[in-house]
Amino acid sequence: MGRYLLSRLAWAGPIILAILVINFLIIHLAPGDPIEALVGDFPAPPDYIASVRHQFGLDQPLATQLWLYLVNLAHGNLGFSFANRQPVLGLLLDRARFTLLLMLPALTLAAILGVVLALTAAPRAGSAYDGAITAVSLFGYSVPIFWLGQVLIVLFAIDLRWLPAQGMISLREQPTGMAAVLDVLWHLILPAFSVTIYYVAVVARVARASVLDVLHQDFILTAKSKGLPRRQVLWRHVLPNALIPVITVIGYNFGYSLTGAILVETVFAWPGLGNLFITSISNRDYPVLQGIFLLTALTVVLANLITDLLYGAVDPRVRAGYGAHA
């Protein structure tokens, strides 16, 4: 396990470095003075601008600038957002909580739904039910989820008045205690469902292929010929063996769900990173935009790393190096 861990860490290191370098290069993409990318297009005091210019060594050669940039990041200095009057790092961590609150239930729901759909559809491969599952995953792959959010709002919040249209809490009643938790859950349903649909598509597709694969293996035939009931074969023999690629796809797609949450938040006025992202776009608050990219990219690398380690812990073949890792 130690060697496997080391090899995965050796994978993550250069990728993290590459992400940092990309973020550094983005600063220089802006037409004109890179100082604008570091401060934003918001009126900032001139002595602050001068200090940033010095801190990031903008009059020095590019290599020195990169070094200073990395040093600043290592100190947690992602810049200051003048539009929000707050250091970028604190602002991001503050908002990331709400994005996680939206993502984690959506992810869990999608994983469960996807696996159950696949497990029920794959043994009936070719049937109408199986076709319907394929249709669901095609829908999930093709629908713009921010638009799906809009349709859900129009249908369930405006027309039927079953669920709240926007926000995370009821502003009028301001409930406390348990009622407040329920209130948040109440607001969570529509945005979480919008994020879920793409994920269900991804998970169902991979899980279906994986279940089909396991179904055709000899030990399943053995289990069947022993006279085990269908249900037991599926849940006890097929599921555990089919689950490994599914875990991988869930972990590896963490980034997509993060992006999904960011796209959906805007539609539902959910107060997380997505909302911060769109207001920062209109404020031209570049340090915040770059900070969001950095935070999400690093989160995805971390999620991939954790997935790999879980994978190694669950399946000894992977640790030994027989895994199908590209």
Partner 1 sequence: MEPSTRASGPATAPMLKAWRRFATHRPGLAGGAFVLLLALAGVAAPLLAPADPSQIGNQIMLPPSLQHLMGTDELGRDVLSGVIYGIRVSLTVGFLAALAASLLGAIIGALAGFYGGFFDLLVMRISEVFQVVPSFILAAVIVALSGAGLMQIVAVIALLAWPQTARVMRGEVLRIKRLEFVDAVRCLGIGEGAILAGEIVPNALAPMLAVGTLIVGQAILLEAALSFFGLGSADVVSWGRMLNSGQRFLFNGWWLSFFPGTAIFLTVLAFNLLGDAIGAVFNPRSAA
Does 142 interact with partner 1 (rule: CB under 8 A)? yes
State yes or no: residue 297 binds partner 1 (CB under 8 A).
yes
Angle at 283 between CA 48 and CA 94, to 5 degrees: 80
Which residues from 258-277 bind partner 1, rule CB under 8 A? 258-259, 262-263, 266-267, 277
In angstroms, give the least distance from the CB of 85 to partner 1.
21
Question: Whose Cβ is closer to partner 1: residue 17's or residue 185's?
Answer: 17
Hunting for tokens 């689950």 — which residue is that?
A: 243
Residue 73 class from Cβ within 10 Å (0-12 exposed, 13-18 middle, 19+ buried)? middle
Pick from 129, 147, 219, 322: which binds partner 1 (CB under 8 A)? 147
CB of 293 to partner 1, least distance (A): 5
Phi, psi of 80 (to 5 degrees): -125, 135
Burial code (b: 16+ CB inside 10 Å, e: under 16) for 187-197 equals bbebbbbbbbb
Neighbouring residues of 283: CB distance < 8 A, sequence distance ≥ 6: 40, 41, 42, 83
* Contact with partner 1 (CB under 8 A) among 5, 15, 163, 169: 15
Task: Closer to partner 1 by CB, 6 or 181: give it.
Answer: 6
* C-alpha dihedral (96, 99, 105, 108), degrees to nearest 10: -70
In angstroms, the CA 286 to CA 84 distance is: 12
Contact region with partner 1 (CB under 8 A), list: 44-52, 153-161, 174-182, 238-246: 153-161
Q: Does 29 bind partner 1 (CB under 8 A)?
A: yes
Q: Binder to partner 1 among 66, 70, 143, 309 (CB under 8 A)? A: 143
Q: Which of 112, 221, 281, 306 binds partner 1 (CB under 8 A)?
A: 281
By CB under 8 A, the count of residues binding partner 1 is 50
- What are the E-state strand segments in 73-180? 80-81, 86-87
Alpha-carbon span 158 to 103, nearest angstrom: 24
Judged by the rule CB under 8 A, the positions of this chain that interact with partner 1 are 14-15, 18-19, 22, 26, 29-31, 37, 125, 138-139, 141-144, 146-147, 150-151, 153-154, 158, 165, 212, 255-256, 258-259, 262-263, 266-267, 277-278, 281-282, 284, 286, 289-290, 292-293, 296-297, 300-301, 304, 326
